Amino acid sequence: MFIDSHAHLYFDSYDDDLSDVIRRAKDDEVKYMINIGIDIETSYQSLQLTKKFDGLFASAGIHPNEALKYDKTASCEIEKLLKEDKIVAVGEIGLDYYRDRAPRDVQIKVFSEQLKIARDNDVPVVIHIREAWEDAEEVIEKAVNWEVKGVFHCYSGDQETAQRLIRKKFLVSFGGYITYNSYKGNEMLDGIPVEKMMIETDSPFLTPMPFRGRRNESSYIKFTAQRLADLKGLSIDDIGRITSFNANRLFGIAPEMEEPKIVYRIRDSLYINPTLRCTSDCVFCSRLTDPVVKGHNLKIKEEPTVDETINAIGDPKQYKEIVFCGYGEPTLRLDFIKDVASKIRGSGIPIRLNTNGHGNLIYSRNITTELKGLIDEVSVSLNTHDAEHYQKIMRTEYGTDSFKAMLDFIKKSNEAGINTVVSIVDIPGLDKEKIGKLAADAGAELRVRRYNEVG
């Protein structure tokens, strides 16, 4: 599923075939499209389209190129439009020093005023910035002190700016231009977590390859998604889901995205989410606040039963591997793991357990021998080489002894004949060499994961 978070389907280039354009979008899994107003007239046109077609939403606002149209009447019209259910944002607003169609001081004033309207009405903003990055941040700071959420659409700034905007809880959105050979931002795209991204077409403009030069339309969002998938090492479905999840969090248009998952797919792997309970309380973990992984909400209300899980898995052969891994410690449900694993064992699909390695502490016995024959690989994540630091960041319920016990678990798992891996996240400052030695001493392989990449 995709959400085209920014389109202008009210332009007259769609006059003859808009129904076909929307049908093609739906056929290509673009479930929702948001038409973005550039002035009052087009904001009303966007609203009209939401009444004509399912899955369409709209925004209301004055584009910086149209800033001279902004006056008291316009601001009242925006406020009025915001009362409509299908109007989900103020936009597009911002600064455009590339085209400079309105004096810069007017653009700044109009941008500031509309930011305040969004803040006062508690709706997100869709921001358009071209060659005005410094002023943009200053205006948001001065006008609303960043007390507004939103997206920078067709992002064209640098990586440092993107990181600052993300820290201010903004999203950045990318369009067809990232598919061009001439696009210079690949390194930046690589540095921005996909959890902070949306995708858009900006139709009828910025048509992605291979249709560059023709009119753009929402169904072409797949080319932009594919480009991101290639860059991020994810599947196009992953990109569609994650960016849709993000769009829903911002605009509230796809509540189904928040459905908690007992099993969830990333790339070709299926993950099983047995529990939210854990023996640790890691400082960086969002288990209790917002357990979301790659566009999957893992905040289950109840722990799944074996039958529910087997049903949710379906045919295991659709997957490359099946992994017990949620926002919680799977071995707290040892019997569940054993039952589920034994039921899917026959498929021949590799089964992995991601664990914090506290299993033997939890049960005061060596559970690795019980996993032998059921689990092909045990993966223990380890982000430090030192017991005190481990306790400081993991805050385990077993105190500093847990570090030694966890290393012993790795060793026992290896001795039980299970392929055992120590995984570390590639964050600066980590002593990979020392952790590597600990892993080697315990007989485990060391695997380095990219920061923020699951799977």
Which residues lie near ligand SF4 (CB under 6 A)?
278, 280-282, 285, 287, 327-329, 356
What is the nearest approach in angstroms of ligand SF4 to the Cβ of residue 308? Answer: 21
| Cα radius of gyration (the chain) | 25
278 binds, among ligand SF4, Zn ion, none (CB under 5 to 8 A by kind): ligand SF4
What is the nearest approach in angstroms of ligand SF4 to the Cβ of residue 279? Answer: 7
319 binds, among ligand SF4, Zn ion, none (CB under 5 to 8 A by kind): none
206 binds, among Zn ion, ligand SF4, none (CB under 5 to 8 A by kind): none
Nearer to ligand SF4, 232 or 287 (CB): 287
Q: Print burial letters for 242-281: b (CB count within 10 Å at least 16), e (below 16).
A: bbbbbbbbbbebbeebeebbbbbbbbebbbbbbbbebbbe
Nearer to ligand SF4, 282 or 362 (CB): 282
User: Please, is 306 exposed, middle or buried when counting C-beta atoms within 10 Å of its C-beta (0-12, 13-18, 19+)?
Assistant: middle
Binding site for Zn ion (CB under 5 A): 92, 128, 202
119 binds, among Zn ion, ligand SF4, none (CB under 5 to 8 A by kind): none
What is the nearest approach in angstroms of Zn ion to the Cβ of residue 128? Answer: 3
Question: Is the CB of residue 59 less than 8 Å from the CB of residue 37?
Answer: yes
- On the question of a cis peptide bond just before residue 92, with omega within 30 degrees of 0, the verdict is yes
356 binds, among ligand SF4, Zn ion, none (CB under 5 to 8 A by kind): ligand SF4
Residue with tokens 């385990």: 396
287 binds, among ligand SF4, Zn ion, none (CB under 5 to 8 A by kind): ligand SF4
**Residue closest to Zn ion (Cβ):** 128
128 binds, among ligand SF4, Zn ion, none (CB under 5 to 8 A by kind): Zn ion
Nearer to ligand SF4, 248 or 279 (CB): 279
Nearer to Zn ion, 92 or 329 (CB): 92
Helix 159-167 and helix 133-144, axial crossing angle in degrees, nearest 10: 10
Nearer to ligand SF4, 227 or 287 (CB): 287
Question: Is the CB of residue 61 less than 8 Å from the CB of residue 92?
Answer: yes
What is the nearest approach in angstroms of ligand SF4 to the Cβ of residue 280? Answer: 4
Residue with tokens 């291979």: 210
What is the nearest approach in angstroms of ligand SF4 to the Cβ of residue 381? Answer: 7
Nearer to ligand SF4, 173 or 360 (CB): 360
Nearer to ligand SF4, 199 or 298 (CB): 298
Question: Is the CB of residue 220 less than 8 Å from the CB of residue 208?
Answer: yes
What is the nearest approach in angstroms of Zn ion to the Cβ of residue 309? Answer: 44
Question: Is the CB of residue 368 less than 8 Å from the CB of residue 416?
Answer: yes
Q: Strands 263-266, 269-272: parallel, antiparallel or unpaired by DSSP?
A: antiparallel
For residues 58 and 37, what is the distance between their CA atoms, to the nearest angstrom?
7
Question: Is the CB of residue 122 less than 8 Å from the CB of residue 149?
Answer: no
Q: Up-side HSE of residue 331: CA atoms within 13 Å toward CB?
A: 27
What is the nearest approach in angstroms of ligand SF4 to the Cβ of residue 285? Answer: 3
Q: Structure tokens of 8?
A: 């202008």
What is the nearest approach in angstroms of ligand SF4 to the Cβ of residue 3? Answer: 29
454 binds, among ligand SF4, Zn ion, none (CB under 5 to 8 A by kind): none
Nearer to ligand SF4, 220 or 390 (CB): 390
For residues 290 and 295, what is the distance between their CA atoms, to the nearest angstrom?
11
For residues 295 and 168, what is the distance between their CA atoms, to the nearest angstrom?
20
141 binds, among Zn ion, ligand SF4, none (CB under 5 to 8 A by kind): none
